[in-house]
Amino acid sequence: MKNEKNVQFRTRLDMVLYFLRGSKRYFVLSVIFACLVSLFDLINPKIIGYTIDSVIGNVPAELPAFIQKLLPGDAVWFRTHLYVISAAVIVIALTGAICRYFFRLNNSKGAETLVKRMRDRLFDHIIHLPFAWHSENRTGDIIQRCTSDVEQVKMFLSEQLTSLVRITVLIVLAMYFMFGIHPQLALAALAYIPVIVGYSFFFHSRIGDAFRHADEEEGKLSSIAQENLTGVRVVRAFGREAYERERFEVQNESYTKMWVRLMKLLSMFWGAGDLFSGLQVLTIIAIGSWLCVRGELTAGSYVAFVSYNAMLAWPVRSLGRVIAQLSKAGISIDRIMYIMNSETEQDRPGAQTPDLNGDIVFDHVSYQYENGSAEILDDVSFTVKQGTTFGILGGTGSGKSTLMYLLDRLYDLPEGRGTITVNGVDIRDIKASWLRENIGMVLQEPFLFSRSLSENIRIARQDADMKQIRAAARTASLDETIEHFQEGYETFVGERGVTLSGGQKQRTAIAQMLIRKAPIMIFDDSLSAVDAETDVKIRTALKADSAGATVILIAHRITTLMAADQIIVLDHGRIKEQGTHEELLAGNGIYRQIYDLQMQQAEGEDEE
Same domain, 323 and 413: no
Alpha-carbon gap, residue 119 to 148, rounded angstroms = 11
The answer to whether position 449 is within a domain reads: no
DSSP classification of residue 360: E
Query: Are β-strands 520-524 and 439-442 bridged in parallel, bridged antiparallel, or unpaired?
Result: parallel
pLDDT for res 369: 78
DSSP classification of residue 572: T
Alpha-carbon gap, residue 494 to 232, rounded angstroms = 12
Same domain, 202 and 285: yes
Q: Which amino acid, residue 116?
A: K
Q: Which amino acid, residue 250?
A: V
Phi and psi torsions of 418, nearest 5° = 100, 180
Same domain, 282 and 334: yes
Smallest CA-to-CA distance from 144 within 255, 247, 264, 13 is with 255
The answer to whether position 316 is within a domain reads: yes
CB atoms within 10 A of CB 365: 23
Extended beta strands in 244-376, E state = 360-367
Same domain, 358 and 336: no
Of residues 13 and 61, more confidently modeled: 13
* 342 torsion bin: left (phi>0), alpha (psi -120 to 50), beta (else): beta
pLDDT of 71 over the 70 cut: no
Would you say the pTM of this structure is higher than 0.85? no
Last residue of a domain, one of 309, 340, 371: 340
Smallest CA-to-CA distance from 52 within 310, 307, 302, 311 is with 302
Same domain, 92 and 48: yes
The answer to whether position 470 is within a domain reads: no
pLDDT in tens, 326-364: 777 888 888 899 999 988 888 888 888 898 888 999 999
The answer to whether position 496 is within a domain reads: no
Same domain, 19 and 62: yes
pLDDT in tens, 257-304: 888 888 888 788 777 777 877 787 888 888 888 888 888 888 878 788
Residues in the chain: 608
DSSP string, 455-522: HHHGGG-TT--HHHHHHHHHHTT-HHHHHTSTTGGGPBP-GGGTTS-HHHHHHHHHHHHHTT--SEEE
Phi and psi torsions of 439, nearest 5° = -120, 115
pLDDT grade, residue 86 (50/70/90)? confident
Please give the average per-residue pLDDT across 417-440, as a whole number. 90
pLDDT for res 67: 59
Contact 427, 421 (CB under 8 A): yes
Of residues 5 and 360, more confidently modeled: 360
Same domain, 192 and 157: yes
Alpha-carbon gap, residue 377 to 394, rounded angstroms = 12
Instruction: Give percent of the chain above pLDDT 90.
Output: 12
pLDDT of 400 over the 50 cut: yes
The answer to whether position 33 is within a domain reads: yes
pLDDT for res 572: 85
pLDDT for res 1: 33
The answer to whether position 153 is within a domain reads: yes
pLDDT grade, residue 317 (50/70/90)? low
Contact 458, 515 (CB under 8 A): yes
Same domain, 164 and 237: yes
* 520 torsion bin: left (phi>0), alpha (psi -120 to 50), beta (else): beta
The answer to whether position 461 is within a domain reads: no
Last residue of a domain, one of 340, 363, 380: 340
Last residue of a domain, one of 290, 306, 340: 340
**Distance in Å from the first CA to the final CA of the chain:** 68
Contact 474, 544 (CB under 8 A): no
pLDDT in tens, 158-172: 877 777 777 788 888
The 3-class SS string of 60-93 reads CCCCCHHHHCCCCCCHHHHHCCHHHHHHHHHHHH
- Round the CA-based radius of gyration of the chain to a whole number and report it: 36
DSSP classification of residue 362: E
pLDDT for res 114: 92
Q: How many domains does the chain have?
A: 2
Long-range contacts (CB closer than 8 Å, 24 or more residues apart) made by 243-252: 248/221, 248/224, 251/217, 251/220, 251/221, 251/224, 252/221
Same domain, 151 and 222: yes
Same domain, 320 and 358: no
Same domain, 254 and 308: yes
Q: Work out the mean pLDDT of the chain and round it to a whole number.
A: 81
DSSP string, 378-429: EEEEEEE-TT-EEEEEE-TTSSHHHHHHHHTTSSPPPTTS-EEEETTEEGGG
Write out the residue range of the structural domain in which residue 403 sits: 353-438+520-533+548-608
DSSP classification of residue 203: H
Kindly report the CATH number assigned to the domain that includes residue 227.
1.20.1560.10
Instruction: Give percent of the chain above pLDDT 70.
Output: 85
Same domain, 116 and 37: yes
The answer to whether position 487 is within a domain reads: no
Kindly report the CATH number assigned to the domain that includes residue 357.
3.40.50.300
pLDDT grade, residue 385 (50/70/90)? very high
